[in-house]
Amino acid sequence: MNYDVSKFYSKCDHNDSYHDSFNAVKESFLTSDVESHNDKDRALLETTKLMNGIIAGTSEPYFYLSSVDPGSGKSSMVQNYIKRLRNSGFERDFGILIVLFTFDEIDTYTNSCGLDESDYAVLCTDTDLQKKGLGAYHANSAWVLFTTHEMILRRTNGKSFSDATDFHFRNKARALRIWDESLDPAKAVYIRLDDLDGLKAPLRAGHAELLNHTMAMADVTRNEPAGSIVPMPLELGDLASIALIDRNSFEPSVVRTLDALASLGGRNAVLIKEPKGGQVALIGCSGDIPKDMAPLVILDASGRLRKTYSLWDRHRGTLRVVADYAHDYRNLNIRWWNRGSGKTTLKADDQRAKIVKAMADVINAKPSLKTLIIHNKVEGPTGKAIHPFVEELQEKLGIPDNVQFLHWGRHRATNQFRDYQRVFVVGLSILPEGVSKAIFLAASGLPLHDPSFDEMKAIQQSESMHQLLQGVCRCNVRNIVDGMCGDAKVYIIASSMYLTQDLLTQTFPGCAITSWKPEGEKLSKNASLLANALKRMFSNPEVHAVTKRQVREATGISEKSLAKVLKQSAVLAFLNANAIAVKHHEIVRNTV
């Protein structure tokens, strides 16, 4: 995404009489609040200038993305900005809305912005937070209002932002609106038809009409071919919304399904069939976020990685990039073990044992070094652990107290591990293909269709790298000095089906990447035959690709056995280390 930041705030440099007092004040804290010594500071400065223009009423009504890597101080920048605004002395006849991801962030912000109790209020579902400041019932009188992503999305659903009076200041929409973390222009929706069957018991007693409508829709849909457009009745969405009033009485899985039905009510969905397991599902998206939420500042630290923003920019035309900054990650040392480590692998006793042993060996070699382990959630739908990975690893650790575990979903917006210099990533956060397709539709706003594999894969990869950046930057990496990240060593266990060296380099520019081959990960007999044959074939500099038939003839390996060998983790590691890729009927050497 190319951008010219000057056009977003240049108008605010004009001193017309209406803005004289504000412009005089703003110059005093522009230079003192953020000094532009380097690219990071300049990126923060551009964001600060944009906020000035929004308050002055001179910025165009766009959604503005400020993508500045984790650890850059964007939260401190906003907190200091509000503090300086409060102390600057001009009339506060505009309101400020800060939209945050977690309750903990709200608590941090309210304590760090230098505000008096009479300056702010909190609107969320946490009863203790709602009592802070003026209290939620007096939010209209609070200069600064703190709320959550979920609260905004719920209370603006189906209406304009100017009509969402819960977020007003003195009966008008707040002028400066800041959204911390990721934002999509619409909510992606994914419903497996099997999930609809899971509504029968929870809804039978109190929501029989909703259950009847849902089952009738599901019965008709099951008989439709993949790719069919399925109209979702408005009444079905309305009934789901009514049921959600009592959302705390349902299991989380039921709430997710009801949320999806409510979002799709009165809209169309696409019927798809998942390639893995043959799951039949509906994908689509909710209505768009209100257009009049613009101008809105989006502070997404991993925005540079997310394909959703480029789709938003290209197809909708309402997004602009005001800052795009990445750290220098030369102090980050990544060791990648190219093998599967998802739920299926960790449920297998022998595979889990290899991973646990390899990790324990590394950790126990320097047991005093604080270590963070990021992994996929081990609990299944019932809340019970589906494998004992965490417990088995803890049993092998010399100093268990120096090792902390964090699962994907809880890896964002925390500084608790900022002094940890060693991180293990056991499996990436991988979205199901259907969810990735729904995100593509929501971001692009294109007419409903079943997105292609390439469209899906681009979303799936970018969302995984977005999560990986956020996870790794919980540790010492986030301690930035002169634009360079802090020292850290990260061990990643993930298959090259989902990860490549190029993706790692894009995510962490300048990092060092080496192959991690724990002891005992040896090539099998057929794998050795394959490796030797490929080395021999590619020793000719003019050979850039060989067919699988040629490989079978050179090794004597059958077609069925070759397919199995190419999936072995040790072979995948060999291919990656030698810049060799498998593409359909060919095996290709990357010469770039």
Q: What are the tens digits of pLDDT across the range 315-357? A: 999 999 999 999 999 999 999 998 889 888 898 898 899 999 9
CATH code for position 475: 3.40.50.300
Please give the backbone phi and psi of residue 387, each rounded to the nearest 5 degrees, phi first.
-160, 155
Mark whether 176 and 191 lie in a shared domain: no
What mean pLDDT do residues 181-205 have? 93
DSSP codes joined into one string, 406-472: EETTS-SS--TTTT--EEEEES-----HHHHHHHHHHHH-PPS----HHHHHHHHHHHHHHHHHHHH
Tokens of 500: 């490549």
Percent of the chain's residues with pLDDT above 90? 65
Domain assignment present for 520: no
At residue 8 the predicted structure's pLDDT band, cuts being 50, 70 and 90, is very low
Residue 523 to residues 450, 530, 546: CA-CA distances in angstroms? 40, 10, 21
Domain assignment of residue 496, yes or no: yes
> Does 208 fall in a domain?
yes
Whole-angstrom CA distances from 191 to 264, 269, 361, 543 are 10, 10, 42, 47
Average confidence (pLDDT) over 399-418: 84
Lowest mean pLDDT across 8-12, 160-164, 397-401 = 8-12
Stretch 270-288: mean pLDDT, rounded?
Answer: 88
351 and 416: one domain?
yes
Asked if 338 and 282 sit in the same domain, the reply is no
Give the closest residue to 12 by CA, choosing from 325, 322, 303.
322
Rounded to two decimals, what is the model's pTM?
A: 0.82
Each residue's pLDDT tens digit, 226-249:
999 999 999 999 999 999 998 889
Q: Which of the listed residues 515, 548, 573 is the one where a domain comes to its end?
A: 515
Mean pLDDT of 68-91: 88
CA angle 500, 465, 63 (to 5 degrees): 140
Specify the higher pLDDT residue, 573 or 449: 449
490 with 537, same domain? no
> For the residues 139-150, what does the mean pLDDT come to?
95
Task: Please give the Cα distance from 468 to 465 (Å, whole number).
Answer: 5
Whether the Cβ atoms of residue 309 and residue 66 lie closer than 8 Å to each other: no
Residue 166 lies in a domain: yes
Establish if 473 belongs to a structural domain.
yes
**What tokens does 50 get?**
């944009």
Q: Is the pLDDT of residue 91 over 90?
A: no
User: What is the pLDDT at residue 409?
Assistant: 83
20 within a domain of the structure (yes/no): yes
> pLDDT by residue (tens digit) across 368-395?
999 999 999 887 666 677 889 999 999 9
**What are the structure tokens assigned to 130, written together?**
């709602």
User: Do 111 and 250 belong to one domain?
Assistant: no
Please identify, among 271, 288, 305, the residue that sits at the C-terminal boundary of a domain: 288
CA atoms within a 13 Å half-sphere pointing along the CA-CB vector of 543: 14
Res 577: pLDDT: 66
Within this chain, do residues 402 and 348 fall inside the same structural domain, yes or no?
Answer: yes
pLDDT value at residue 99: 97
Judgement on whether residues 483 and 584 belong to the same structural domain of the protein: no
Q: Which segment of 48-52, 282-286, 409-413, 539-543 scores lowest on mean pLDDT?
A: 409-413
Taking alpha carbons only, the member of 511, 508, 510, 557 closest to residue 534 is 557
Is 17 a residue whose pLDDT tops 80? no
Q: Would you state the pLDDT for residue 411?
A: 61
Q: Assign 298 a pLDDT band (cuts: 50, 70, 90).
A: very high
- Does residue 165 contact residue 253 with C-beta atoms inside 8 Å? no
Domain boundary (515, 547, 572) is at 515
**Quick one: 280 and 312 in the same domain?**
no
Residue 1 lies inside a defined structural domain of this protein: no
404: DSSP letter: E
In a shared domain, residues 272 and 380: no
Q: Pick from 133, 160, 164: which is nearest to 151 by CA?
A: 164
Region 247-274 average pLDDT: 92
Are 303 and 340 in the same domain?
Answer: no
* Same domain? 105 vs 244: no
Is-contact 403 394, C-beta < 8 A?
yes
CATH number at residue 35: 3.40.50
Q: What is the mean pLDDT of the chain?
A: 88
Q: How many domains does the chain have?
A: 4
Q: Regarding predicted confidence, which is higher, 295 or 86?
A: 295
Could you list the residue range(s) of the whole structural domain that residue 551 is in? Answer: 525-589
- Domain check: are 148 and 262 in the same one? no
- Average pLDDT, integer, range 277-304: 93
How many Å apart are CA 518 and CA 337, to the nearest integer? 8
Average confidence (pLDDT) over 241-269: 92
Confidence band (pLDDT; 50, 70, 90) for 2? very low
| Residue type for position 230 | V
